[in-house]
Structure 1
């Protein structure tokens, strides 16, 4: 687990290192100082579990720097299973005047040793040592355990988010667009990643006090609906549409695509869509049925995933507004016409059309990017957001780069506050019947496999609703396998690995929670780069440590005071696990 992060340099009163960095770091000596001296003012903030602030308090006196400038330079040290390491460390480079780029490594090491010698151990800090460019602090074990457990039990679901790491982070309005399937089509497995990643980002931001609007921007307009409309007129059944809308529309779409090779069918589809754009009541009524039935079925699947949205919008909402965007582009001199009559915006630095984006068809109608421009402007007018995040696969990176560039050219400086969170592809997802196409098939498959595993496991208890438990544990398995690496990476899906009850899996997380601290840094890091892997790694490490503790620290049969202390330990671990799992979109189970 990697807790490191970039740290801002203080503005004044810094340590002055010698210039230049010519060599690699040498393995340095440690210069340890152990023992306890009289209790000091470091203890004043222990009630708030602020060991960082305590360390920063003494450092500020030695370095003549405000404590606030030092807090983020003090990072927690990851727990090591192999050996005991310090609890916190101060990076000398992060508080040096010129940063780390112009400092000789040996000078940083020397400064670390000199600073360590000037600091004193006390009732809070039991050991101070110099590392390679760092000063390391070990907290009194008894005090650390007692304070952290008390803080976890006191803060409950707010543990971690109250940390001083977030004290300077302004609360913002965030709009997050995610999932965004195409209506009249079954929920494709490709939308699973967008859905659970967007849900995680929204959950995280809400937990940190931001105001979040979750938008599902549906693909609900375009020529394909002309084709589907004609297909339904030829092959559709209204009873099947009501009972199983997406399955029936999928079947209709397959049939009409076979017939679409015929020129007459193509012409009928174009006519149908043209009547939609002309607001013909009959064609729009059928299209609206497709849309409404689709959303109803999507909501049922979202409930299984534990996901909700504040707004369902779509491309159809921005048909007319996109024409206003084209007029704005023309008025600002940004819209150019090609010899074929299409409208483009020049995005090249030298204005030589080496890079451009097509925003209008030759017949004057809008395109996907034009509707996205209209949607972005409309959302700013509606929500006055501070940040807007789009969660889609990485194949759309170029699209969003163009979108943000055009908005900026139009004079919207807030385009810099738009962000595209991209993700890679899931490979190797197959059911026993072969390739999986639809998300519901995957959810049913993982639930079925989990039920089988639970039935065959010797440790499985009598459960009130085994199907619901299997659903929650199965979803945890999918989410954890998805979130363990960088979102931008493709990954190979494995049913067997996902459903193991031991190892770094979602099933193991659920198992630990059913049996059953420096969580704030992990939350802070995930809040900065919007990557869930930091939280996943932390929770899995906590699960492994809790499993070891469960074997070696029995509650039953221990003296009452000892049993109570151990019970608090497992209760605190379970509380942190629950908080983290909920952020990831996992509903913790209490029995397995």
Structure 2
């Protein structure tokens, strides 16, 4: 639909300039909607099309000459020039007809059927995200990895990729030596049954404190880890028990967030294969042993100064990096992925840089398709009880605050399950607050800002969706697709349709940069436009023909708003 207009504009400009339309097409963009005054539908920065430097230097003059030659036709009703940028206005009835029909035709896939997305690479995308450490409660630090990874997986899937969602658990290493040794001293089976992760957390805190004072406790932790490495039945049984309980508890949190995984993996899967990695590094003369007996890989060729990455301890055991190398090789062999994305905090940047460099030295052929999606830290997230540690506390707080707000507004009677509605709105608030800025940036969290019902918040998006849903209960003739375009010529309708026109470009940019903020900004703007339209385009009391056209229009807004929210990981509510 937008591509139809872009191509028509490109063909007219091509005829006028004598430049191939295929060269012009990528530089034609749908315009942003201005709050004051009518906005152009499309614009073309002519300088980006001109090759000759002399011509480029006089592009303003060229643009003026070109504008004079362009003519209005059945598609382009008007063209102009604003600060060296060619602008185009399309025929208003045609704009209404094309946008409305395209959304009705594509439904939830609207925006993804566009020609500009046709060259986006497709294939198998493996996304590794969340990755909590088992036998520990789901820490709030894993919130960003979970919701960002879920968003990227949703986006890739919507774009036509086959997506494998992997939760790579931290389920091996010295922490289990500590926990195994600590459970024999501080553990209680009854407490484990009643609240597994809370009790394991308490044991972990106690054993860490004991290690600081008691050398014997530290030695027993190393001994338990050696037993695990050697496959001692009792140690493995306890580890398996802790792992199973952890996954059960995590599943409850993921359900609240609307997050699912195709595969639960973990470091433990690669404890043997990491020894194969060491052998491979030896066979290729990549592994170097220091005077202390530590195994390292020299990465100086990638740096300006000498740099070594440690892959083996002096006792011959492997590290997190070694296991990540084993996992990457195993996934390439097992899945033959087209791209693999690791969604983790930016503090792990050096780790992934070293991982990709070592894979490159080993001759792995898909290293260039591996990417670390970095994100910053959340600052200042507190509950009424104080500093937040665990994610379920955050979700409980969001739900409780929303319930309180809903009760004050007197709207809880409108919902069948107020707590469930409050949970969905609370999750939306967390996600929008998180996704509004660049992922790499740290940000300060504010409950007051996140839970505002007006402004650029997840609560506002949910409110808009519920308001549209309420309005659509008036629609009794949905089976009739025909409508009169003359009934949708008001400024608020045109502005909203102009905004819907550029959805494919927003999707393309979001896919290209894997930054949710572009989609968030678009949906928030759509929400504001929708509320203006709801206020100005009355349905009740309007003639049947007008009411029907407006309800089709509001239905289309809801389709795009809901599908965009779901991409972000938000479950739209119908009442609030």
- Give the TM-score taking structure 2 as reference length: 0.91
Specify which of 309, 326, 344 is matched with residue 357 of structure 1.
309
Specify which of 232, 256, 280 is matched with residue 328 of structure 1.
280
Aligned residue for 1:515?
Answer: 467
Matches within 5 A, 1:411-450: 411-450=363-402
Specify which of 75, 81, 103 is matched with residue 152 of structure 1.
103
* Alpha-carbon spacing, 1:352–1:448, altered in 2? closer, same or farther (3 Å): closer
* Alpha-carbon spacing, 1:353–1:130, altered in 2? closer, same or farther (3 Å): closer
Q: Is the 8 A contact 1:481 1:506 kept in 2?
A: yes
Secondary structure in structure 2 of the residue aligned to 1:128:
strand
Aligned residue for 1:402?
Answer: 354
Specify which of 568, 578, 582 is matched with residue 552 of structure 2.
568
Q: Is the 8 A contact 2:132 2:142 kept in 1?
A: yes
Q: Is the 8 A contact 2:47 2:56 kept in 1?
A: no
Aligned residue for 1:18?
Answer: none
Work out the number of aligned pairs and report it: 543
Aligned residue for 2:81?
Answer: 130
Aligned residue for 2:145?
Answer: 194
Matches within 5 A, 1:139-178: 139-178=90-129
| Cα distance in structure 1, aligned partners of 2:150 and 2:17 | 43
CA displacement 1:483-530 (0-9 Å, x = unmatched): 000000111100011011000000000000011112111100000000
Structure 2 alignment gaps of length 5 or more: 469-499
Specify which of 38, 42, 45 is matched with residue 91 of structure 1.
45
Specify which of 213, 216, 219 is matched with residue 170 of structure 2.
219
Secondary structure in structure 2 of the residue aligned to 1:379:
helix
Aligned residue for 1:285?
Answer: 237
Matches within 5 A, 1:229-244: 229-244=180-195
Q: Is the 8 A contact 1:389 1:421 kept in 2?
A: yes
Alignment pair present for 1:269 and 2:221: yes
| Cα distance in structure 2, aligned partners of 1:208 and 1:152 | 16
Specify which of 491, 504, 520 is matched with residue 536 of structure 1.
520
* Alpha-carbon spacing, 1:88–1:290, altered in 2? closer, same or farther (3 Å): same
Q: Is the 8 A contact 2:127 2:340 kept in 1?
A: yes
* Alpha-carbon spacing, 1:461–1:562, altered in 2? closer, same or farther (3 Å): farther
Q: Is the 8 A contact 1:242 1:293 kept in 2?
A: no
Answer with 206-215 or 103-112: which moved more.
103-112
Aligned residue for 2:268?
Answer: 316
CA displacement 1:311-340 (0-9 Å, x = unmatched): 111111111111111111111121111111
* Alpha-carbon spacing, 1:490–1:350, altered in 2? closer, same or farther (3 Å): closer
| Cα distance in structure 1, aligned partners of 2:302 and 2:510 | 38
* Alpha-carbon spacing, 1:93–1:360, altered in 2? closer, same or farther (3 Å): farther
Q: Is the 8 A contact 1:109 1:131 kept in 2?
A: no
Aligned residue for 1:34?
Answer: none
* Alpha-carbon spacing, 1:109–1:364, altered in 2? closer, same or farther (3 Å): same
| Cα distance in structure 1, aligned partners of 2:277 and 2:54 | 52
Alignment pair present for 1:111 and 2:62: yes
Q: Is the 8 A contact 2:50 2:56 kept in 1?
A: no
Alignment pair present for 1:342 and 2:326: no
Q: Is the 8 A contact 2:412 2:418 kept in 1?
A: no
CA displacement 1:343-380 (0-9 Å, x = unmatched): 11111128996122111111121111111111011111
Q: Is the 8 A contact 1:192 1:439 kept in 2?
A: yes
Answer with 134-143 or 413-422: which moved more.
134-143
| Cα distance in structure 2, aligned partners of 1:242 and 1:109 | 75
Q: Is the 8 A contact 1:478 1:506 kept in 2?
A: yes
Could you say which structure has the greater relative contact order, defined with CA pairs below 8 angstroms and 6 or more residues apart? Answer: 2
* Alpha-carbon spacing, 1:189–1:288, altered in 2? closer, same or farther (3 Å): same
| Cα distance in structure 1, aligned partners of 2:329 and 2:84 | 48
Secondary structure in structure 2 of the residue aligned to 1:345:
strand
Secondary structure in structure 2 of the residue aligned to 1:312:
strand
* Alpha-carbon spacing, 1:248–1:563, altered in 2? closer, same or farther (3 Å): same
Please report how far the alpha carbon of residue 298 of structure 1 lies from its aligned counterpart in structure 2 after TM superposition.
0.5
Please report how far the alpha carbon of residue 154 of structure 1 lies from its aligned counterpart in structure 2 after TM superposition.
2.0
- Give the TM-score taking structure 1 as reference length: 0.89
Secondary structure in structure 2 of the residue aligned to 1:72:
helix
**Moved beyond 6 Å, runs of 4+:** 350-353
Aligned residue for 1:60?
Answer: 14
Secondary structure in structure 2 of the residue aligned to 1:521:
helix
Answer with 312-321 or 125-134: which moved more.
125-134
Matches within 5 A, 1:28-47: none
| Cα distance in structure 1, aligned partners of 2:312 and 2:111 | 49
Q: Is the 8 A contact 2:341 2:370 kept in 1?
A: yes
| Cα distance in structure 2, aligned partners of 1:435 and 1:103 | 62
Please report how far the alpha carbon of residue 162 of structure 1 lies from its aligned counterpart in structure 2 after TM superposition.
0.3
CA displacement 1:370-411 (0-9 Å, x = unmatched): 111110111111111111100001111111111111111111
Secondary structure in structure 2 of the residue aligned to 1:339:
coil
| Cα distance in structure 2, aligned partners of 1:589 and 1:451 | 14
Secondary structure in structure 2 of the residue aligned to 1:50:
helix
Please report how far the alpha carbon of residue 66 of structure 1 lies from its aligned counterpart in structure 2 after TM superposition.
4.7
Aligned residue for 1:497?
Answer: 449
| Cα distance in structure 2, aligned partners of 1:525 and 1:500 | 28
Q: Is the 8 A contact 1:347 1:353 kept in 2?
A: no
Aligned residue for 1:19?
Answer: none
Answer with 512-521 or 107-116: which moved more.
107-116
